[in-house]
Amino acid sequence: KLQFLYFIGNMNAFVYMTLAAAVQGGIFPHPLVYQEHGSAAAVGSKFSFADAAAELSSERLLGSAQRYDVHVGGKLRAEEGAMRVTFAVATDDETVSAKTDYSYEVRIEGNVVAISAQSIYGAMYAMESVTQLITTDGTLPLAYIKDAPQYAWRGLMIDSGRRFFPVATVQNLLDTMSYLKMNVLHLHASDYCRFGVESKKYPNLTNALTGILGGYYTQEDVAGIIKYASDRGIRVVPEFDVPGHSRGFLPLESQGIEFCTDASDRCQLYNDPANSTYNILTDLFTEMSSLFPDEVFNIGSDETSAKGRCTVQSTFEIERALVTFVQEKPWWPCRMVPLLVQYLVHSALRAA
């Protein structure tokens, strides 16, 4: 397991370096506009993103600038050259959401690297592009760059519902995602094997995890992962998969949650007439939602079937009831657009 995680961490860096080196201008993803004009110029050993960012009032942008200064520090060998950075950011809204504007422009002219962006996250993308352009001998091409993401959802998924990924590994992945200008970490937190996030209301969900299924994220871990991601312009979207893929809920049988069958491999939840399963799920989801501020909260609803006490209709009803529960709670911070699409597709397939 440790060897596998070490392999994943190193593969992240390898993929990033390989892709960045393979594109025109050395920028990956390739920007909408990249135009060079004139010869490359020496950056100079005093080049600093952080000095420019310090003139703004954003601690988050300053932290990112300081990280990029570390990245470029080893390249700045030339004493000659006095390039400096300027920032122009249109909004001070630092919310990371589906509406976040990541667009940016960079003008490298004379001794100035002028970065303009609608948000600090666009400014971060600009710093990434400039960092990729700086050569190993400390020069930077005079150029104009204009870019904006083509897709609002540029994500990767961690399947912690099957295996635990240590926080350090998640942070490594978030760093790599930021280098590639990705913006959504889909945290698949429960599945057939396990429930991977601490619940204060139902602590036995994670207390029962041992051996190869061991490990979970404490609520403090979740807060730390979300902050680490947000500092890099990345959303964390949780998924708690029900009513199928729900073997991780087995520890809650003693508290009233019910399954379709009593088989040893039971993994689909039953919509019992007394609403015990529904009540536990809504109580748990309310707690989990308080941990994840993103506007998307995914409840899966995939790969269910008629088995044992569960009919197509009873399964459909609990899925629909959970969607309605979320939609009708004005205090709930989440919308469920991806879930609704998935839910409707599966409903149509059942009907067919």
H/E stretch holding 177: helix 167-179
Question: Over the range 248-269, which residues count as b (16 or more CB within 10 Å of their CB) and which as e?
Answer: bbbbbeeeebbbbeeeeebbbb
H/E stretch holding 108: strand 104-109
Measured from the Cβ of residue 62, the count of other Cβ atoms closer than 10 Å reads: 19
Q: What angle do CA 224, 219, 101 make, to 5 degrees?
A: 45
Query: For the chain, what is the total number of helices (H) and then of strands (E)?
Result: 10, 11
For residues 64, 67, 73, 79, the Cα torsion angle rounded to the nearest 10 degrees is 30
Measure Cα distances from 94 to 49, 51, 120, 351 in Å. 19, 20, 7, 44
Question: Over the range 158-185, which residues count as b (16 or more CB within 10 Å of their CB) and which as e?
Answer: bebbbbbbebebbbbbbbbbbbbbbbbb
How far apart are alpha carbons 241 and 245 in whole angstroms?
6
Catalytic option among 303, 317, 319, 328: 303
How far from the centroid of its chain's Cα atoms is residue 9's Cα?
16
How far apart are alpha carbons 313 and 215 in whole angstroms?
36
| Six-digit token string for 39 | 């010869």
What are the DSSP calls for 135-164, one per residue?
Answer: -TTSEE--EEEEE--S-S--EEEEETTTS-
In the annotation, is 109 catalytic?
no
Catalogue the active-site residues. 303
